[in-house]
């Protein structure tokens, strides 16, 4: 039976859900946060040590400015409000991606959240913010070249955003789309992919458990017969 060490999630469908329910994409983002909380708590109970959520891609800057501002304010509001609960529940926060272009107050809030949860050890929650896997691979290649170290798998993985983090066993993408959208392309070479038609705010713990139970029975060959 396969052990689950790391689950990556593309939370697609928040905007569509908001438009369907209230003609407002931002309502979908607000409800999407509630699902994240439920998934994190369920993962702690299941003793899954690592989650990675695709929170804001490097391509999401193309969205309407009002929606981008709302998303960043939502992130800042959540961590300002919930940081004590995160520490209390021993949830470690880690950010992967290039946060330099983010608004200063959001950047400070994220860095502060990482510092305050540094010693938490029940679960590691990675948030991919201003993240794009192709950019990550290019930047990693530049680092290796600049530092004049041998090019091999081990050195490459040491210089990714996800250094020292085991690669995902499972990818879950909600929203009915069947693509990776520039998310953890290197890291998901042998990840089991699960595409769900439900929009993210409609994703339930029962759906989550079904995927995990299915994964546990999958034969993982890694190129072998």
Domains by residue range for the chain, with CATH? 6-133+168-217 (3.40.1180.10)
- Could you give the CA distance from residue 162 to residue 221 in angstroms, rounded to a whole number? 24
Confidence of residue 45 (pLDDT cuts 50, 70, 90): very high
- Cβ atoms of 40 and 205 within 8 Å: the answer is no
Q: What are phi and psi of 54, to 5 degrees?
A: -80, 100
Cβ-contact 37, 111 below 8 angstroms: no
Q: What is the CA radius of gyration of the chain?
A: 17
Backbone angles phi, psi at 132, to 5 degrees: -145, 125
Mean pLDDT of the chain: 96
**Given pLDDT bands bounded at 50, 70 and 90, which one contains residue 220?**
confident
User: Does residue 222 have a pLDDT over 90?
Assistant: no
- Strand, helix or coil at 222? coil
Question: Is 182 a known active-site residue?
Answer: no
Catalytic residue, chosen from 5, 14, 31, 60, is 60
Distance of CA 59 to the CA centre of its chain: 15
60 is catalytic: yes
Q: Looking at residue 225, what is its pLDDT?
A: 63
> Could you give the CA distance from residue 142 to residue 175 in angstroms, rounded to a whole number?
35
Mean pLDDT across 65-88: 97
pLDDT in tens, 106-149: 999 999 999 999 999 999 999 999 999 999 999 999 999 999 99
Check residue 14 and give its pLDDT.
97
Mean pLDDT to the nearest integer, 24-48: 97
Dihedrals phi, psi of 126, to nearest 5 degrees: -90, 130
pTM for the whole thing?
Answer: 0.96
Q: What is the mean pLDDT of residues 144-164?
A: 95
């Amino acid at each position: 039976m396969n052990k689950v060490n790391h689950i990556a999630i593309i939370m697609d469908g928040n905007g569509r859900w908001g438009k369907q329910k209230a003609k407002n994409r931002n309502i979908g983002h607000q409800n999407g946060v509630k699902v994240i909380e439920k998934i994190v708590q369920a993962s702690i109970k299941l003793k899954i040590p690592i989650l990675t959520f695709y929170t804001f891609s490097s391509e999401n800057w193309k969205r309407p400015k009002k929606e981008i501002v709302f998303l960043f304010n939502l992130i800042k509001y959540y961590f300002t409000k919930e940081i004590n609960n995160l520490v209390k529940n021993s949830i470690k926060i880690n950010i992967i991606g290039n946060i330099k272009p983010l608004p200063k107050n959001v950047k400070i809030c994220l860095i502060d959240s990482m510092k305050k949860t540094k010693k938490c050890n029940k679960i590691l929650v990675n948030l991919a913010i201003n993240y794009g896997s192709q950019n990550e691979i290019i930047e990693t290649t530049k680092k290796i070249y600049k530092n004049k170290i041998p090019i091999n798998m081990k050195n490459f993985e040491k210089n990714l955003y996800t250094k020292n983090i085991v690669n995902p066993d499972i990818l879950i993408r909600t929203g009915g789309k069947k693509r990776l959208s520039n998310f953890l392309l290197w890291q998901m070479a042998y990840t089991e992919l699960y595409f769900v038609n439900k929009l993210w705010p409609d994703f339930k713990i029962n759906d989550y458990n079904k995927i995990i139970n299915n994964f546990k029975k999958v034969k993982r060959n890694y190129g072998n017969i």
